[in-house]
Amino acid sequence: MHGSAASPVDAGPTEPIVEFAEVTPYEQYVGVRQLQALVRPVTDHPAEPSFLVVTQIMELWFTLLRREWELAQRRLRADDLDGAVAAIRRSVHHLRSLNASWGSLLWLTPTEFNGFREQLGEASGFQSYEYRHVEFLLGLKAESVVRPHRALPAVHADLQRALEGPSLEDDVLAFLARHGLAVPAEVLERDRTVPHEAHPAVTELWAGIYRDPRPGNELFALGEALTDVAEEFTTWRQRHVTAVRRAMGAKPGTGGSAGLAWLERSAARVVFPDLWAARTVL
């Protein structure tokens, strides 16, 4: 309109803002200096910074996965299936990026790892409490992995709540039950602190959903999104086993675990067992 101020769209190309009274808004939002300050190697070995930064990046991915799956749980409890599936699908992309993080450590040889491994002391990925939250949300429960965090009361209490609370799978099954599917009471009311094993009735329930793969079947889409999560998470655990085998072989872990043997047992645990069992009965 004649005489009106030009809108940002009408103004044409402009120069970027280069003068700020304080730090840049990007620095305020991202916290670059805080992130850089967290890169604190304990040796001068040139391989250690990569190992440390990749580990820290994985912790951030764990945090993001936890947020997505807890959001999916809230959406399921509100009977918002679309919102839950959207969060689960986003998490699949996060898992793929988490898996890709191993690529930055593929070059790490046993000699290079041994160059700083002893200086890690008793520090071990076994002690990652955010990873434990991820496992618990996927139904991989174990009371023993909560114990190392007793010295941090808030963290310990948070993990204990996650151990005793419903997993993502539990909330999915509760959603299905509310919408008329025959989920057995012993499954809905089971002890949440132990992993859910495949149950014949739940397996058949998923098989029934999978017998109707039409595009409009929202429960089929939910099952496939959950299967993608299980597959990508399993891939991460398998790549973890391979990375450990490549860098240190079968030595005991720095945190006192059996190292490779412990990881192999852990990686064998099945995420969403009924979804996999349903494929056998179809």
Is residue 254 part of an annotated ligand binding site?
yes
Q: Is 117 annotated as a binding residue?
A: yes
Which alpha helices (DSSP H) does 101-217 contain, by range?
110-117, 129-137, 153-164, 168-178, 185-188, 200-210
Other CB atoms within 10 Å distance of the CB of residue 81: 18
* Distance, CA of 209 to CA of 202 (rounded, Å): 11
Q: What is the pLDDT of residues 201-252, one digit of tens each?
A: 999 999 999 999 888 899 999 999 999 999 999 999 999 988 888 888 877 6
How much is the pTM?
0.90
Query: Are 241 and 104 in contact, with CB atoms under 8 Å apart?
Result: no
Residue corresponding to tokens 């930064």: 53
Q: Answer yes or no: is 45 a known binding residue.
A: no
Report all structural domains of the chain as residue ranges with CATH numbers, in order of start.
Answer: 25-281 (1.20.58.480)
> Which pLDDT band, with edges at 50, 70 and 90, does 21 fall under?
confident
In this predicted model, what pLDDT tens digit does every residue of 73-85 receive, in sequence order? 999 999 999 999 9
Residue 11 clears pLDDT 90, i.e. is over it: no
Per-residue pLDDT, 201: 98
